[in-house]
Structure 1
């Protein structure tokens, strides 16, 4: 990604606003330190790689002392898990907002809107996709559990939306089909990341919609 794009896109921030003149409690100071560390971790992990980002660099970038870092009870693996979870929640929010704005009685439009939002969440800044599908893989058991939970939330969302269109296929949808759809979409993103020259996000969107089209044809058969 070029520098101009990277300067305008970063990890969504948490809400740590406070009223004017109010001092922070210890818990709020710790939350702000963790927020700065999370944002620094996103930038450094995606720029240098997880294994090449020492704790000292994370702390200096976040303006947090190493003493305060260890008092938070964190390590690099925990920060990567924190960053991954933030990205996954952002993608989930994008999809839910798209569905909330889509026509309730137009299933095809809802599917298109959800796919567009999901692809945008990971490709508006390709670091989101790289961190989620490449950099974070195998970092820790904790992160893999968070990844599994994120996949299950998306599987439940797919299951619910498909039930509206195919109520007669409850047994199929109650099985592993939604999980398989997620796995296929994830592999398409990994393939997109590894292809040179990099296809456009629109090309990735078309491939995912083609995948869903094949699945829909199978359910309609």
Structure 2
């Protein structure tokens, strides 16, 4: 898994052969196949581990967050972004390679998105819902925006600061929900 963590992040899943994985891990091909059915299964296991760890980090941050919508949003987003960016390989697997792998991770990616959608919907459950906006679709849009911010962090020639990513993601989240800016009263 350690070898895959590095190789699947760069040069990437498509360029990583089982032979290269085994060479990097210093194991035989036979030993590999005793653990995994193929490199796709290994990618799924690696992706799932990243998702579970990130959900755990976000859940902990939400438990410790101030009991306001903005407090929960800011804590959850900061925890996720800091977790993802603490190791570029994790961010790359979760946000770039998951898309480049084609059908290999489509179901795993959908499960991850559903898990994060539930977290977001629970964090915003006490906020009034606009009857003209589908909350599920709005949640998916927020997730997509956060993913694109992390892809920008990974691929940009000059990486945006983590604080800028957090501030932008919080702004998108709060404004998407129609939440007033800090210090203002809903109209």
Q: Is TM > 0.5 for Structure 1 vs Structure 2?
A: yes
Alpha-carbon distance, 1:169 to partner:
4.6
User: What whole-Å deviation, never above 9, does each CA across 1:90-134 have from its counterpart, x for those lacking one?
Assistant: 21111001011123x333212111111011111112222112111
Distance of 1:151 and 1:171 partners within structure 2: 23
Q: Are residue 182 (structure 1) and residue 140 (structure 2) matched?
A: no
| Among candidates 67, 76, 82, match of residue 120 of structure 1 | 82
Unaligned 5+ runs, structure 1: 1-37
Where in structure 1 do 4 or more consecutive aligned residues deviate above 4 Å? 168-174, 218-221
CA, structure 1 residues 141+117, in 2 after alignment: closer, same or farther (shift >3 Å)? same
Contact 1:151–1:182 (CA<8 Å) still a contact in 2? Answer: yes
Aligned to 2:121: 159
**Structure 1 position 72 matched with structure 2 position 35:** yes
Task: Please say which of residues 196-205 and 48-57 is displaced more in the overlay.
Answer: 48-57
**Structure 2 stretches of 5 or more lacking a match?**
181-185
Within 5 Å, give how 1:18-167 maps onto structure 2: 38-103=1-66, 105-166=67-128
* TM-score, normalization by structure 1: 0.73
What is the Cα-based RMSD across aligned positions, in Å? 2.3
Deviation digits for residues 19-57 of structure 1 (CA, Å, limit 9, x no counterpart): xxxxxxxxxxxxxxxxxxx22100122233223322122
Count of residue correspondences? 182
Is contact 1:163-1:173 (8 Å) kept? no
Distance 1:97 1:171, change over 3 A: farther
- In 2, the alpha carbon distance for the partners of 1:177 and 1:101 equals 25
- Structure 1 residues 114 and 170, CA, compared in 2 at 3 Å: closer, same or farther? farther
**Are the equivalent residues in 2 in contact too, given 1:162–1:173 (CA < 8 A)?**
no
Report 1 or 2 for greater relative contact order, CA contacts < 8 Å, sequence distance ≥ 6.
Answer: 2
Deviation (angstroms), 1:88: 1.4
Alpha-carbon spacing, 1:171–1:99, altered in 2? closer, same or farther (3 Å): farther
1:203 maps to which of 157, 164, 169: 164
**What residue number does 1:213 align with?**
174
Distance 1:218 1:100 in 2: 21
Whole-angstrom CA distance in 1 between matches of 2:140 and 2:178: 18
What is the alpha-carbon distance in structure 2 between the residues aligned to residue 75 and residue 148 of structure 1? 21
